Structure 1
Amino acid sequence: MTALSSLPLGITMGDAAGIGPELIVSLIHQGLPHPTVVYGDSGILRRAAKALGLEQHVTIVDADTLPEGSAIPEQTIAVRNRWQALPADLPFGEINAAAGRGAYEYLCHAIDDAQAGRIRGIVTAPLHKKAMQAGGIDAPGHTEILAERSNTQDFAMMLANHELRVLLVTIHMALADVPSHITFEAELRAIRLAHLACKQAGIAVPRIAVAGLNPHAGEDGKFGLEEQQVITPAIQAACAEGMHVTGPWPGDTIFMRARKGEFDVVVAQYHDQGLIPVKYLGVDEGVNVTVGLPFVRTSVDHGTAFDIAGKGIADPSSLREAFEMALRMSAAPIA
């Protein structure tokens, strides 16, 4: 069996009308510390190289034409694509059904290859949900597609940068629906996944802090009972399993304490509670991690940026951070 560490990482191109293709071309031109396969459209990547003035500096090839076991040359973009070619005149910065469906198909191809042991992990460039829906795929986003296709039941979204790690109990749902999804099982699952993510990051004894759902973490039941009835019992159960978990802490101070080094990861109760603090620190360094999958998956912490697509000014910093985090996390076995 091929050792995981010797396999290439996979990068999915995301929505062809957005900045994903440019980010990938820029990143590979700059150089990467590990072999890489791109799941996307060769023609779109060539167009991105031209927009960046790099068409003479990068080579785009079909990955499956390379000799098995051979090294991928530097500044070579090795592409895999089992989906149909996209139109050469696909407009930049617009919702397009073909681009949306392509983004979904590239992701599915990468998931299948990761499960088959062809790649070490997956790094995803951004897709556009409305374009994907226009292409016939009604899914909330990357996380849910990854979980469904890999048949993963226990998973969570974690956002990370150099100062914070934040894992979410609930992800893409209306705020009004969140309280009914704050259950003992959901809390304990999120705490376990936060522990796993930190272990994969090389932290021997993760310090996990859990945020309350309500203002002041409920203030002894004055502002809600979720902390007393659900969150605290889940924390106690996690501690009984040997994990170092504290809380529930008020959401308005927990992230500040984590930035100061008191905690290794924060378990947040809902999307905006957890993601606003991370994104406020800057999306260029933020990385989105799906925890619990049978393979490593990281992503940029920004969208398709249709407003600047095709202009050659997109910053690949977040994609580099995502790539390097995937490399670090895939160095450890998936527990």
Structure 2
Amino acid sequence: MLIFTPGEPAGIGPDLAVMIAQEKTAQDLLVFADPDVLLTRAKILGLTLKISETESTSQDKSLCVYPVKIADEVVAGKLNKDNAAYVLKTLDLATQYCLDKKAQALVTGPLHKGVINQANIYQDKNGKGFSGHTEYLAQRANIDKTVMMLATEGLRVALATTHIPLSQVSKNIQTDSLTQTLHIIHYSLQGYGLQNPKIVVCGLNPHAGEDGYLGREEIEIINPLIKKLNTQGFNLVGSVPADTAFTPDALRGVDCVLAMYHDQGLPVLKTLGFKKSVNVTLGLPFIRTSVDHGTALNLAGTGNISMGSLHTAIAYAKDLINRGK
């Protein structure tokens, strides 16, 4: 069984749930959401939806739902901070369900970080606000370190840092955290059946620092770590300039590229596979995949959305389940 959390109720998450219910794929899903929100969105979309509060569905256009009560009215396309706690509750319940091994994987829909922080309902262990699914799920699972990886056909991109301001990236590229990141990527890919995964490591600075003239993180942190881990059996290449790391020749035989920050690697991946890519959290004690897009508030309730990324996230989760057997 797979769990699906639709995320922000004013966005296209409920649309995704209603539209997937029209397909046989929905028979494998347990959706954590308010049934009334889904039924209302189905009516707006002009689609048939039957709700079953069990753990399996067999009827056409039926969705198995674990009911979670919404706090306030949901208006498609209009954020409401009073419903932010509802979004986090769906994640809390879904995470615990996976930790209790009642489900094999968690597939998440898009949420809105801004409205959750506006609600002022959450601080992490460092006293910071909500920064994203990846960090939130790690804390709920009591995991110190996870890695965000996006994948599409022919390319996987993992991130050394995730949702932090660009001004803070450099000070977060440290030997200990980068060591943890590379360990998680290496052993996760091995768990996916890649015995000797080849990982390309991008430099932080332009031209990978150009021998220290454009920055010293490569000389002082990144390159020594690559050399050390390769003596321990890793298959790391780098550090390489990010502006040439994603050329076809450079990617030949590569299993994953580690980018130093969010927008160093993800624009390339999304250009290649937007609507057909998946977000995977490495290092959790359960499988978690996600769509690669945001809440698309302007499209909520229109029916004018692509199901491609949700299909990819579900298919990728099932593939990881099968690989782990």
Asked if Structure 1 and Structure 2 have the same fold, meaning a TM-score greater than 0.5 normalized by the shorter chain, the answer is yes
Question: Which letter does structure 2 place at the counterpart of 1:97?
Answer: K
Asked whether the equivalents of residues 164 and 259 of structure 1 are also in contact (C-alpha less than 8 Å), the reply is no
1:11 to 4, 20, 27: 4
Return closer, same or farther for 1:18/1:33 CA change in 2, 3 Å cut-off: closer
1:290-309 correspondence runs (5 A): 290-309=281-300
1:155 to 146, 155, 158: 146
Whole-Å separation in 1 of the counterparts to 2:251 and 2:228: 27
Deviation at 1:21, TM superposition (A): 0.8
Deviation at 1:205, TM superposition (A): 2.0
Asked whether the equivalents of residues 31 and 74 of structure 1 are also in contact (C-alpha less than 8 Å), the reply is no
2:18 to 3, 25, 48: 25
Whole-Å separation in 2 of the counterparts to 1:177 and 1:266: 21
Whole-Å separation in 2 of the counterparts to 1:183 and 1:34: 44
Matched with 1:42 is 35
| Residue 314 (str. 1) matches residue 299 (str. 2) | no
Whole-Å separation in 1 of the counterparts to 2:286 and 2:262: 23
1:105 to 89, 96, 100: 89
Asked whether the equivalents of residues 110 and 291 of structure 2 are also in contact (C-alpha less than 8 Å), the reply is yes
Whole-Å separation in 2 of the counterparts to 1:261 and 1:41: 46
Whole-Å separation in 1 of the counterparts to 2:317 and 2:274: 17
Asked whether the equivalents of residues 44 and 86 of structure 1 are also in contact (C-alpha less than 8 Å), the reply is no
Matched with 2:174 is 183
Question: Which letter does structure 1 place at the counterpart of 2:42?
Answer: A
- Deviation track 1:226-274 (CA, whole Å, cap 9, x = no partner) reads 1111111211222122121110010001112477433110011011102
- Deviation track 1:187-228 (CA, whole Å, cap 9, x = no partner) reads 222212222332243323211100000111111111111111
- Deviation track 1:106-142 (CA, whole Å, cap 9, x = no partner) reads 1111001000111111000001112222342331111
SS of match in other structure, 1:208: strand
Q: Please identify, of 106-115 and 168-177, the stretch whose mean Cα deviation from structure 2 is larger.
A: 168-177
Asked whether the equivalents of residues 152 and 278 of structure 2 are also in contact (C-alpha less than 8 Å), the reply is yes
Asked whether the equivalents of residues 215 and 250 of structure 1 are also in contact (C-alpha less than 8 Å), the reply is yes
Question: Which letter does structure 2 place at the counterpart of 1:110?
Answer: A
| Residue 218 (str. 1) matches residue 204 (str. 2) | no
Matched with 1:132 is 116
Whole-Å separation in 2 of the counterparts to 1:187 and 1:258: 26
Q: Structure 1: 5+ residue runs without aligned partners?
A: 1-7
Deviation at 1:317, TM superposition (A): 0.9
Matched with 2:66 is 80
SS of match in other structure, 1:37: strand
Whole-Å separation in 2 of the counterparts to 1:326 and 1:259: 28
Whole-Å separation in 2 of the counterparts to 1:99 and 1:259: 46
Whole-Å separation in 2 of the counterparts to 1:105 and 1:209: 37
Sequence identity (%): 36
Whole-Å separation in 2 of the counterparts to 1:301 and 1:200: 23
SS of match in other structure, 2:290: strand
Return closer, same or farther for 1:313/1:282 CA change in 2, 3 Å cut-off: same
Question: Which letter does structure 2 place at the counterpart of 1:299?
Answer: S
Deviation at 1:144, TM superposition (A): 1.1
Return closer, same or farther for 1:294/1:49 CA change in 2, 3 Å cut-off: same
Question: Which letter does structure 1 place at the counterpart of 2:147?
Answer: A
Asked whether the equivalents of residues 43 and 86 of structure 1 are also in contact (C-alpha less than 8 Å), the reply is no
Q: How many residues align?
A: 317
Whole-Å separation in 1 of the counterparts to 2:231 and 2:320: 27
CA RMSD, Structure 1 to Structure 2 (Å): 1.9
Whole-Å separation in 1 of the counterparts to 2:244 and 2:57: 47
Question: Which letter does structure 1 place at the counterpart of 2:155?
Answer: L
Whole-Å separation in 2 of the counterparts to 1:165 and 1:95: 32
Return closer, same or farther for 1:153/1:171 CA change in 2, 3 Å cut-off: same
Deviation at 1:173, TM superposition (A): 1.2
SS of match in other structure, 1:32: helix
Q: Please identify, of 15-24 and 276-285, the stretch whose mean Cα deviation from structure 2 is larger.
A: 276-285
Matched with 1:198 is 189
Q: Structure 2: 5+ residue runs without aligned partners?
A: 123-128
Question: Which letter does structure 2 place at the counterpart of 1:45?
Answer: L
Matched with 1:228 is 219
Question: Which letter does structure 1 place at the counterpart of 2:198?
Answer: R
- Deviation track 1:265-292 (CA, whole Å, cap 9, x = no partner) reads 0011011102111122242012111110
Matched with 1:324 is 315
Question: Which letter does structure 1 place at the counterpart of 2:88?
Answer: Y
Question: Which letter does structure 1 place at the counterpart of 2:164?
Answer: M
Matched with 1:5 is none
Whole-Å separation in 1 of the counterparts to 2:252 and 2:24: 32
